[in-house]
Chain A
Amino acid sequence: MKHLVRFFLLCLFSSPLLSADVDPRDLIQKAMDHWRGTSSYSDMTMTIHRPDWQRSMSMRSWTKGEKTSLVRVTAPKKDAGNGTLLKDNNMWTFAPKVNRIIKVPSSMMSQSWMGSDFSNKDISKSTDIIDQYDHSLLETREQDGHTVYVIESIPHEEAAVVWGKEVLMVRDDYVLLEQQFWDQDGILVKTMKALEIKELGGRTVASILRMGKQATPDEWTEMSVQDISFDVSHPDSLFTLSSLRNPRQ
């Protein structure tokens, strides 16, 4: 309720200040493009933190367009070779221990991805927000010499989305600073925050992202990007089930 009131106030007082030339949908699209490029290749580390333990995994990821990507675990040795392939909203996972590829059923999409705080859906449907939501600019503010746009995105009536709304904070150089996931009762469920922003692969990007649930502040998952290159050309054969099974890179 408090949040709601605050939003109303924000809407009331901030609307005259908004620059008329900012289209929130366009802003999100650009932020997504900025982060993914038309294609990308990156090395990253995922750290899963729990009150009594912590675990890190290194992984490599390839993306092409909005709907195609491949992620493969490279370390620790025990988990190396596990991979996920995403293609047109379908998701497959490969486990070298049993040498099997399994298609992730839609009933499992809300389950955790590789044991992290990211769900399979978070990983696979990150660009759904552009088409399946209505966007409105809540606020613009100045931060570290940048303009930050706060955008509220509410899913369409018929969209197959579990969230009631999402709030995104996008910087004027298209860096996504924060993404909040609210449920249908207007309660903040989880937040993804950019903890570090730096120049990588010729672009300013968020190099450390942390996803954490609101209810359990001492449990989170951090994605830290070591290296990323944009607009690399990947052969189509990279994003196939046989490539998921047999790494050629």
Chain B
Amino acid sequence: MTITLRMAWRNLWRHKRRTWLTVGAMVFSNLLLVFMISLQFGSYRMMIDNSLKSYTGHMQIQREGYNDEPKMRSSIDAIIPLATKVREQLGSDTVAARGVAFAMTSSEERSYGLQLVGVEPAFEPKVSTLPGLIKQGSYFTDINAAEIVIGTILARNLRVGIGDELTLLGSGHDGSFAAGIVDVVGIFGSGIAEIDRNMAQLPIGYFQNLFGMGDKGHNIVINAAELSEVTVLQHAVMGMLAGDDKLVVLDWEILQPGLKQAIQADFASAWFMYAVLIVLVAFSVLNTQLMSVLERTREFGVMMALGVKPARLGGLVITETFVMSGLGLVMGIASGLLLTGYFSQAGFTYPGMEEMADRFNLPDRMYPSISLLSTLLGPVVVFLFSLLASLYPALRLFFLQPVAAMRAV
């Protein structure tokens, strides 16, 4: 094997420029793949984090069946003590209880049906970005205050401002009439039209009182520190709830199936572009190796005449490709990591991104997310395709006739 390896190495440097050109193509595509895939993963993480942190959270404790059919009656008993317990056991602040109801909301002039969410004023800002997006007024702090924060679009539709009263009318937990008057204390603008138009938040104490919920609520939102820790945390919370078979812990993939699908669709379409890049590199390797085999036809003929088996020659050609692709892999990953590493610290931005980010409350810079997967995925596929491309030149050797080969031009 060592002799094959040594020969392969020497053969490669018989045509320095050609080898460097091919390696260069690989390095370039690997660099591009490492950067693009890391950037893509980074933007997915940003997308997921941003859309989950605006409202849904990484996971939620719910009563079984609530996610499929959110009904007032599918509630969790003693929800605030339960949220407190989870918070203490996890040693984490990012846990908040919520109640959800549908009600008709009216100002002096107009009425709209909307989703009312009762939240814990002290903990909601830790699980959701919404309280931080108050454009006018402020978020409520008293858990029992008859106060409400609404979205910018709803405020415009209802024609109300800070300090105005809203009348809420709906059905309570026991089927009785729920009615209340609340003061608008804050107006938020999340940039997500659906939320700004159809949602309002009230303190959970007042909410429970208004809808005759007692101590009940509908879900407990739990955020992990990192998206990658969600599964571990989910199991930890499941363990805590083991005594209650009516409660389930659902992660964001179940709570927001659309998000995962959007990412998968985007990733699939991106792979189409990557595939073109990879196939191009593979063809350039095929071209190089085929040429180097063809130009050595006489040499191979002599070697075969001296008793070298075609399998060994094939092995030699594959080893050459292996070494060359290995060079491309290592140098590509190294340069890719350098570039990506720089941008993962400094952030990546392009003209016009700032405006877009501002509108949707996204960070104005993207940070590529470097992981083993994002680094290796592209280069390894390039490596494998290059090896695959060398199969054809290698297999040709099996059909070489030594005498004819020695006479070849």
Contacts and interface: CB of A to CB of B under 8 A. Distances in A.
B106 A114 contact: no
Interface in A89-108: 93, 95, 97-98, 100, 102-105, 107-108
B111 A55 contact: no
B104 A100 contact: no
Contact of B167 (A48, A73, A102): A102
B113 A115 contact: no
B169 interface: yes
A102 B166 CA distance: 11
Given A102-B167, A107-B112, A108-B104, A95 B175 contact: no
B112 A82 contact: no
Contacts of B177: 73, 78-79, 82, 95, 97, 114-115
B174 interface: yes
A108 B179 contact: no
A97 B113 contact: no
Contacts of B167: 95, 98, 100, 102
A45 interface: no
B177 to A, nearest CB: 5
B179 A98 contact: yes
Given A52-B73, A108-B104, A78 B176 contact: yes
Given A53-B73, A102-B104, A111 B169 contact: no
Interface string B78-116: 000000000000000000000000101010001111000
Nearest to B171: A115
B176 A79 contact: yes
Sort chain A's interface into a size bin: 20 to 34
A73 B73 CA distance: 23
A104 to B, nearest CB: 7
B323 to A, nearest CB: 65
A242 interface: no
Interface in B112-156: 112-113
B181 interface: yes
A73 B179 CA distance: 15
Contacts of A76: 176
A103 B176 CA distance: 20
B175 A102 contact: no
Interface in B236-280: none
A156 interface: no
Interface string B333-346: 00000000000000
A102 B179 CA distance: 11
Contacts of B315: none
Contact of B169 (A53, A93, A107): A93
Contacts of A234: none
A93 to B, nearest CB: 7
A112 B176 contact: no
A55 B175 contact: yes
B175 A100 contact: no
Contact of A107 (B102, B106, B113, B174): B113
B93 to A, nearest CB: 35
Grouping DSSP codes into helix (H, G, I), strand (E, B) and loop, the A interface class, with mixed when no group exceeds half, is: mixed
A175 to B, nearest CB: 30
Contacts of B175: 48, 53, 55, 115
B180 interface: yes
A105 B110 CA distance: 8
Contact of B181 (A55, A98, A108): A98
Interface in A57-114: 73, 76, 78-79, 82, 93, 95, 97-98, 100, 102-105, 107-108, 111-112, 114
A104 B176 contact: no
B169 A95 contact: yes
Given A50-B73, A98-B181, A105 B176 contact: no
A13 B237 CA distance: 64
Contact of A97 (B112, B174, B180): B180
Contacts of B73: 50, 52-53
Interface string B169-210: 101001111011100000000000000000000000000000
Contacts of A52: 73
A53 B74 CA distance: 12
Contacts of A100: 106, 167, 179, 181
A95 B110 CA distance: 16
B180 A103 contact: no
Contacts of A48: 175
Nearest to A93: B169
A52 B167 CA distance: 30
A222 to B, nearest CB: 14
A48 B176 CA distance: 11
Contacts of A95: 167, 169, 177, 179
Contacts of A55: 174-176
A51 B375 CA distance: 55
Contact of B106 (A78, A79, A102): A102
A48 B106 CA distance: 26
Nearest to A82: B177
B72 to A, nearest CB: 9
A243 to B, nearest CB: 19
Which of B106, B110, B177 is the most central at the interface, judged by chain A CB atoms within 10 Å of its CB?
B177
Interface of A: 48, 50, 52-53, 55, 73, 76, 78-79, 82, 93, 95, 97-98, 100, 102-105, 107-108, 111-112, 114-115
Q: Ordered nearest first, which 7 A-B pairs have the shortest CB separation?
A: A95-B179, A115-B171, A97-B179, A55-B175, A105-B111, A98-B179, A102-B106
Given A98-B181, A102-B104, A105-B110, 13 more contacts: A50-B73, A55-B174, A55-B176, A78-B176, A78-B177, A93-B169, A95-B177, A98-B180, A100-B179, A102-B169, A103-B106, A104-B104, A107-B112
27 contacts: A48-B175, A53-B73, A53-B175, A55-B175, A76-B176, A78-B176, A79-B176, A82-B177, A93-B169, A95-B167, A95-B169, A97-B177, A97-B179, A97-B180, A98-B169, A98-B179, A98-B180, A98-B181, A100-B106, A102-B106, A103-B111, A105-B104, A105-B110, A105-B111, A105-B112, A105-B113, A111-B104
